[in-house]
Amino acid sequence: MSDWAARVRAWCALDPDEGDRAALEALLAAGDEAALGRHFEPPLTFGTAGLRGPEIAGPAGMNRATVRRATQGVAAWLAEAGVADPLVVVGRDARRGSEAFNDEVVATLLGAGVRVLEMPRPLPTPLVPFAVKAVGASAGVVVTASHNPPQDNGYKLYAGDGAQIVPPDDEVVERHMAAAGPARLGLRGAPGHAIASEGLLGRYRDHLLARFGVGESDLAITYTPLHGVGGATATDLLARAGYRRLDVVAAQFEPDPAFPTLPFPNPEEPGALDLAIESARAAGSSLVLANDPDTDRLGAAVRTPEGWRVLRGDEIGALLASTLLEGARHEGRGVATSLVSSSLLAAMAERAGVSCATTLTGFKWIARAGGPTGLAFGYEEALGFAVDPFVADKDGLSAALCLARLAHQLAATGQDLLTRLDELETAFGVHATSAVSVRAPGADATARIAAAVAALAAEAPRRLGELAVTGVEDLARGWRGLPATAGVRLALGDLGRVVVRPSGTEPKVKAYLELTPPREGSLADQRARAAAWSEGVLSDLAGALDLGA
């Protein structure tokens, strides 16, 4: 235990939380090396969406010491980059621990001589990247774990362009985190501290309303923030945009870090919209809109004669693109999506005369694909959408207004969102997408996930269901000019592809399937053919991915 004693004492010497210090020292006294390993290995690093992990003591968890070290890393990164008189925008969600972690960020930045513009209360995450660009800040920090389970928290870091940091900036921050010593802390009320004004937040609101407001609408909408921070802001925006028939899910409206009505607070998860659909039935709504807990993602469901249908992220992406591509062409801006999302956007953009980029997974890559003029539209299948370049990240609020406007416009001509999807697949062919994920329990989950993905890249099956695997590409070696990333892409000839990768935010492996059947027969025939193929592909793929117990 001598090595553990040195590591625990070194960490505790800089840990400001008495309870966390006591927990680690008790494990050391008990000689519980396995438990200590879970608190120390692997340490949190900046992944797909910043730092994210369980709220536990030690470098493997989100805690006051980790947040303080990360913030020291941010201050040192800005200093190393030669930023003069740096200013950082700081915000948070309403999870357990978020207020204390927010306090650590503010105090550590002020103590390092960095000016702070702090959000006045828990607010939607997109307001921070908006504010970074609006005030010309050097960086932005949001304490949030987005849609992760209740026991998690996280730390999103934005650069001066309002987009999440990418290499090598994350590596610089982590290098300074590892070398962090005692922190000097500042106090609110110091000359370098300010609270973001309601006027600044109003600029965000006014821009969205000018862009996506409809004046007056009879479209009946049910909205839920899934116990997150979006409720008041989203409903205010929808009401001001002209939607008079607005129903809310009362049981999920107020922020609640326990997320009591949800197994996982993620609009992607099966059943996440059940309460919203139940409320929509009672209210006579035709559209359900749902934000995840930090309000940067958008889920949706639509009423059909047969019942309610939850839209996939790729379907929402195609719908939003159908109303934004003309403006993109007029403005000379491009669109972008990730390599795990549908190829339908590229086909639509090509016909519209708009450039379309394919990026690695994560909005830190998508947001930058538009270049200095900004991105007209970007999306990823995991319900992330950017519909206006004034926020250089996914934004569930502006996406909700954009989708509602489209539904309003279609309703005026006797159509709906599903009618538009039929039109798109008639024009471009069926692009049937689905995604599955497998969670890996246990302390060694990360290692087992990496091993499973590597094994698939080394020896992929020759067939998946009825379809032949015609190509195997290890994304760790790069793909079509993109940086290397963990994952494997399996080609299914002209009929589709599968991408398998570790989740960047949770201990699970994810598989993304797209099938493009021949354009023979009716849309119903094509969709049925794709559905049958999909069932076989996903079944065989589950057998090929052995995550162990």
The answer to whether residues 239 and 124 belong to one domain is no
For position 188, what pLDDT does the model report? 96
Residue 243 lies in a domain: yes
Q: How far is CA 250 from CA 216, 231, 335, 382, in A?
A: 24, 10, 36, 25
pLDDT tens digits, residue range 92-101? 999 999 999 9
- Last residue within a domain, chosen from 311, 346, 363: 311
The tally of domains found in the chain comes to: 4
The answer to whether residues 32 and 147 belong to one domain is yes
SS3 258: coil
Q: Label the pairing between strands 287-291 and 217-224.
A: parallel
For position 505, what pLDDT does the model report? 67
Q: State the Cα–Cα distance between residues 352 and 328, nearest whole angstrom.
A: 9
SS3 462: coil
Say if residue 547's pLDDT is above 70. Answer: no
The answer to whether residues 118 and 184 belong to one domain is yes
For position 515, what pLDDT does the model report? 97
- Assign residue 486 the CATH number of its domain: 3.30.310
> Helix 231-241 and helix 396-411: axis angle, to 10°?
30
| Rounded (5°) CA angle 512-60-20 | 140
Q: Which one is catalytic: 98, 138, 146, 398? A: 146
- Last residue within a domain, chosen from 255, 279, 311: 311
The answer to whether residues 306 and 324 belong to one domain is no
144 or 438, which is more confident: 144
pLDDT tens digits, residue range 370-428? 888 889 999 999 999 999 999 999 999 999 999 999 999 999 999 999 999 999 999 99
For position 202, what pLDDT does the model report? 97
Bridge partners (DSSP) listed for residue 238: none
DSSP-derived secondary structure letter, 386: E
For position 440, what pLDDT does the model report? 77
Say if residue 548's pLDDT is above 60. Answer: no
pLDDT tens digits, residue range 301-340? 999 999 999 999 999 999 999 999 999 999 999 999 999 9
Q: How far is CA 32 from CA 39, 40, 165, 324, in A?
A: 11, 13, 37, 57
Which of the residue ranges 183-192, 310-319, 448-457 would you say has the lowest mean pLDDT?
448-457
Residue 94 lies in a domain: yes
Mean pLDDT for 432-449 is: 80
pLDDT tens digits, residue range 41-88? 989 998 777 899 999 999 999 999 999 999 999 999 999 999 999 999
Contact yes or no for 492/499 (Cβ under 8 A): no
The answer to whether residues 186 and 231 belong to one domain is no
Which residue from 78, 67, 54, 69 is spatially nearest to 10, judged by alpha carbons? 69
Which residue is listed with tokens 């990768």? 501
pLDDT tens digits, residue range 20-36? 999 999 999 999 999 99
Rg (CA), the chain: 23
- Assign residue 263 the CATH number of its domain: 3.40.120.10
Q: Label the pairing between strands 139-143 and 87-92.
A: parallel
Contact yes or no for 396/292 (Cβ under 8 A): yes
Q: How confident is the model at residue 508 (pLDDT cuts 50, 70, 90)?
A: confident
The answer to whether residues 174 and 210 belong to one domain is no
For position 446, what pLDDT does the model report? 77
For position 444, what pLDDT does the model report? 73
Quick one: 494 exposed, middle or buried, by C-beta within 10 A (0-12, 13-18, 19+)? exposed
The answer to whether residues 273 and 419 belong to one domain is no
Asked if 146 is an active-site residue, the reply is yes
The answer to whether residues 127 and 224 belong to one domain is no
The answer to whether residues 184 and 210 belong to one domain is no
Residue 117 lies in a domain: yes
SS3 483: coil
504 or 478, which is more confident: 478
The answer to whether residues 219 and 345 belong to one domain is no
The answer to whether residues 306 and 382 belong to one domain is no
For position 454, what pLDDT does the model report? 87
Q: State the Cα–Cα distance between residues 202 and 204, nearest whole angstrom.
A: 5
- The model carries a pTM of 0.95
Contact yes or no for 94/255 (Cβ under 8 A): yes
509 or 376, which is more confident: 376
Residue 438 lies in a domain: yes
Distance from the Cα of residue 255 to its chain's centroid = 19
The answer to whether residues 26 and 171 belong to one domain is yes
- Last residue within a domain, chosen from 165, 196, 227: 196
Say if residue 362's pLDDT is above 50. Answer: yes
User: What is the rounded average pLDDT for all residues in the chain?
Assistant: 94
Q: Alpha helices of 369-395 — where are they, by DSSP H?
A: none
SS3 504: coil
Residue type, 375: L
Residue 549 lies in a domain: no
For position 549, what pLDDT does the model report? 47
Which residue is listed with tokens 């990247």? 129
For position 447, what pLDDT does the model report? 80
For position 451, what pLDDT does the model report? 85
Full domain range(s) for residue 220:
201-311
Residue 494, C-beta contacts closer than 8 angstroms, at least 6 positions apart: 516
pLDDT tens digits, residue range 288-305? 999 999 999 999 999 999
Per the document, the length of the chain is: 549
Contact yes or no for 89/119 (Cβ under 8 A): yes
Residue 212 lies in a domain: yes
Which residue from 409, 407, 359 is spatially nearest to 384, judged by alpha carbons? 359
Say if residue 7's pLDDT is above 80. Answer: yes
As given in the structure block, the two tokens for residue 540 are 């065989």
